[in-house]
Amino acid sequence: MAAAALAAFMSSPHPSRRAVLRAALALGAAAVLSACGQDRPAFQGSDITGTNLGKDLSLVGTDGKTKTLADYSGKVVVAFFGFTQCPDVCPTALAQLAQVMQTLGADADRVQVLLITVDPERDTPAIMREYVKAFDPRFEGLTGTLAQVRQTAGSFKAYFAKSPRPDGDYSMDHTAAFYLFDAKGQTRVLLNNSASNDVLVHDIRALL
């Protein structure tokens, strides 16, 4: 429409400068919007671009050093909240992500899977390292003080809480979802932990 308007103005006997300028600006705006639409990938999960979820991630990695999203720049990041003594959901999710990495083949080298603990009292960097790397040696486990974990979880709008057991021990209730970040560290996709391998592979590849 903007292109047609510009052509009409230019073909008229005496087009005013203001009219031509307006048409040219409209054409430029339409081109920009069209380009944005073409560049935006189609995700099968929920598109959460622009929410900035997880931007305040700051925890301790398996090497004992503080990690932020900047440390994974250039890679697509898949983050998941869990804990090493989780009986079902967490190991199932990590086993699934290990399969996804195999499916990605060489592209997996540009993907970083992060397990963010919700049980920092028991999950030390050494325990996290042994746990996550049993699924895939490229996986990273993040822990820290309770305050650090709360800050990071809050940044993700993720929930976690202790769940006491009759034997006096405890388990952890927590948000179970996959958060996908692009290579620039921007939050892009949210997937339920019931998402299939094909969906995960699709959305990760869309970000590569």
> Is 202 marked within a binding site?
no
> Is 36 marked within a binding site?
no
DSSP the chain: -HHHHHHHHHHSSS--HHHHHHHHHHHHHHHHHHHHHHHSPPPSSEE-TTS-TTTT--EE-TTSSEE-GGGGTTSEEEEEEE-TT-SSHHHHHHHHHHHHHHHHGGGGGGEEEEEEES-TTT--HHHHHHHHTTT-TT-EEEB--HHHHHHHHHHHT--EEEEE-TTS-EEEEE--EEEEE-TTS-EEEEEETT--HHHHHHHHHHH-
> Is 174 marked within a binding site?
yes
The owner of tokens 């899977």 is 113
| Residues placed in the known binding site for Cu cation | 86, 90, 174
| Residues placed in the known binding site | 86, 90, 174
